[in-house]
């Protein structure tokens, strides 16, 4: 199986590392000659609009997938004319636009934060009036790791938030959403095959700081909540006729009676950072399952690696820290992506698997301290 991957980041690198065991070979398309996947497959360097590079990339491949969700849909369509592309390009297009994502969730009866589309400062003022404050103004497209977002405490902040996201332009494609007063954040990583079979990983609790995922813990432990989150993910996958791994990020909100409700935030049409723990913590990793799904192979089991097992993952952001020190922490599995260290950049992660979630939290805290990583 010769697999092409649009994007050559760490997600592509981990896809290839999983795929090599199945005998698959990989080719990546990325604008950067320094892309982390260059060590694990052939790298075609080119811009998303470079027809020549796309031609060289696609030649001789059996199928194409992506690890980067902001690949222009036009490039994906051009490739899909020649070679099967999974997940379907229509799913990619929905997940590229926060407005389409929220409309999709709502059409399936999955609650989201109240929101309104915004394309001018006057519309932002009306949106804050209608939706309420505090809230977050976000670019509809291309945001990641909290980039392309401005928080509004009150209606007085509209001018500053508009200026922060538009650099003074008079119109832009934005969305304003009400701030969700969540108790915790969770995500579902799920996989669907072309024949409609699905498998869901245990619900994962995620810790973010400054808009970036810092740590993940699985399983979250609330069985009833997990069933609802899995059902929502299945519904989204069915609607999109999805093939491959998808992640849905959700907020858990506790209402006045103490009951937990789920509020959907966004879809990632690809393998997801909150599923990195599955490499060591689940029977089949998200990376292998994505490849199985797109190659038409049977899906692998998504349960924890052993009954009663727990997993915890710490992101290494900005700098990897001392590898020898990390590896001296009992049970540490370090994954370094081979990227230049830069502030705010994901350069690696560390996973722990065990039976006592408190021990795993302690180990995550110890490695965070060692590597200078913030957890709140």
Ligand X SMILES: Nc1ncnc2c1ncn2[C@@H]1O[C@H](COP(=O)(O)OP(=O)(O)O)[C@@H](O)[C@H]1O
Q: Write out the residues near Mg ion by the rule CB under 5 A.
A: 249
Among 91, 334, 309, 317, which Cα is nearest to 201's? Answer: 309
What's the min distance (Å) between Cβ of 147 and ligand X?
A: 6
The correct pick among 32, 144, 195, 344 for binding ligand X (CB under 6 A) is 144
- By the rule CB under 6 A, 72 interacts with ligand X: no
Q: How far is CA 117 from the centre of its chain?
A: 23
Binding mask 199-218 for ligand X (x = CB under 6 A): ---------x--x-------
Q: Does 69 bind ligand X (CB under 6 A)?
A: no
**249 is a contact residue toward ligand X (CB under 6 A):** yes
CB of 334 to Mg ion, least distance (A): 24
Residue, CB closest to Mg ion: 249
Which strands sit side by side in the sheet containing 149-152, from one edge to the other? 115-118, 174-178, 135-139, 149-152
Distance (Å, rounded) from C-alpha 173 to C-alpha 245? 28
Interface residue with ligand X among 94, 216, 265, 289 (CB under 6 A) is 265
Strand, helix or coil at 355? coil
Are 250 and 184 a contacting pair, CB within 8 Å? no
Nearer Cβ to ligand X, position 144 or 241? Answer: 144
Helix axes 286-294, 10-20, angle to 10 degrees: 70
Q: Note whether 247 binds ligand X by CB under 6 A.
A: no
Residue 134 binds to ligand X (criterion: CB under 6 A): no
Q: Measured from the CB of residue 165, what is the shortest distance to Mg ion in angstroms?
A: 17
Contact present, 263 and 255 (Cβ < 8 Å): no
Q: Give me the least distance between CB of 307 and ligand X, in Å please.
A: 30
**Residue 345: CB minimum distance to ligand X, A:** 14
- Can you give the length of the chain in residues? 376
Asked if 40 contacts 21 with a C-beta cutoff of 8 angstroms, the reply is: no
3 state SS of 359: helix
Stretch that binds ligand X, among 23-31, 174-182, 193-201, 271-279 (CB under 6 A): 174-182
In the complex, least distance from residue 113 CB atom to ligand X, rounded to whole angstroms? 4
Please say which residue, 176 or 277, places its beta carbon nearer to ligand X: 176
Strand ranges (DSSP E) for the chain? 2-6, 25-30, 42-45, 63-66, 115-118, 135-139, 149-152, 174-178, 184-192, 198-200, 204-209, 212-218, 244-254, 260-268, 310-317, 333-336, 346-354
Stretch that binds ligand X, among 47-55, 139-147, 317-325, 361-369 (CB under 6 A): 139-147
Contact flag: residue 113 with ligand X (CB under 6 A): yes
Nearer to ligand X, 45 or 212 (CB): 212
177 binds ligand X (CB under 6 A): yes
- DSSP readout, 68-114? -TTS-HHHHHHHHTTS-BSS-HHHHHHHT-HHHHHHHHHHTT--B--
Report the nearest approach of Mg ion to the CB of residue 104 (Å): 16
Task: Spell out where 109-228 has E strands.
Answer: 115-118, 135-139, 149-152, 174-178, 184-192, 198-200, 204-209, 212-218
Query: Would you count residue 101 as binding ligand X (CB under 6 A)?
Result: no
Establish if 95 lies at the interface with ligand X (CB under 6 A): no
Q: Which residues bind ligand X (CB under 6 A)?
A: 113, 136, 143-146, 177, 179-180, 185, 208, 211, 249, 265-266
């Amino acid at each position: 199986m010769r697999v092409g991957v649009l994007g050559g980041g760490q997600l592509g690198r981990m896809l290839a590392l999983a795929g090599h065991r199945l005998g698959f070979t990989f080719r990546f398309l990325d604008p950067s000659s320094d892309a982390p996947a260059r060590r694990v497959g052939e790298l075609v360097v080119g811009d998303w609009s470079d027809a020549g590079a796309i031609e060289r990339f696609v030649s001789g491949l059996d199928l194409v997938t992506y690890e980067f969700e902001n690949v222009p849909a036009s490039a994906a369509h051009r490739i899909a004319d020649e070679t099967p592309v999974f997940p379907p390009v229509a799913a990619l297009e929905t997940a590229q636009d926060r407005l389409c994502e929220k409309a999709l969730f709502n059409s399936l009866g999955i609650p989201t934060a109240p929101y309104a589309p915004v394309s001018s400062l006057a519309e932002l003022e009306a949106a804050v009036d209608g939706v309420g404050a505090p809230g977050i103004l976000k670019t509809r497209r291309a945001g990641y790791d909290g980039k392309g977002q401005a928080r509004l405490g009150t209606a007085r902040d509209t001018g500053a938030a508009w200026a922060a996201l538009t650099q003074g332009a008079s119109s832009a494609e934005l969305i304003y959403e009400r701030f969700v007063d969540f108790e915790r954040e969770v995500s579902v990583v799920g996989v669907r095959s072309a024949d409609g079979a699905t498998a869901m990983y245990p619900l994962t609790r995620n810790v973010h700081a400054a808009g970036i995922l810092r740590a993940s813990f699985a399983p979250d432990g609330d069985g009833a909540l997990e069933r609802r989150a899995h059902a929502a993910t299945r519904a989204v996958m069915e609607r999109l006729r999805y093939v491959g791994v998808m992640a849905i990020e959700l907020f858990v909100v506790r209402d006045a009676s103490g009951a937990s409700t789920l509020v959907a935030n966004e879809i990632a049409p690809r393998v997801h950072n909150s599923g990195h723990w599955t490499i060591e913590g689940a029977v089949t990793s998200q990376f292998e399952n994505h490849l199985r799904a797109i190659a038409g192979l049977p899906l692998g089991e998504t349960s924890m690696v052993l009954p009663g097992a727990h997993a915890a993952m710490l992101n290494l952001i900005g700098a990897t820290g001392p590898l020898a020190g990390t590896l001296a922490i009992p049970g540490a599995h370090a994954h370094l992506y081979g990227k230049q260290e830069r502030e705010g950049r994901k350069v690696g992660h560390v996973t722990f698997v065990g039976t006592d979630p408190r021990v795993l939290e302690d180990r995550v805290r110890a490695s965070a301290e060692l590597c200078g990583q913030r957890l709140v």
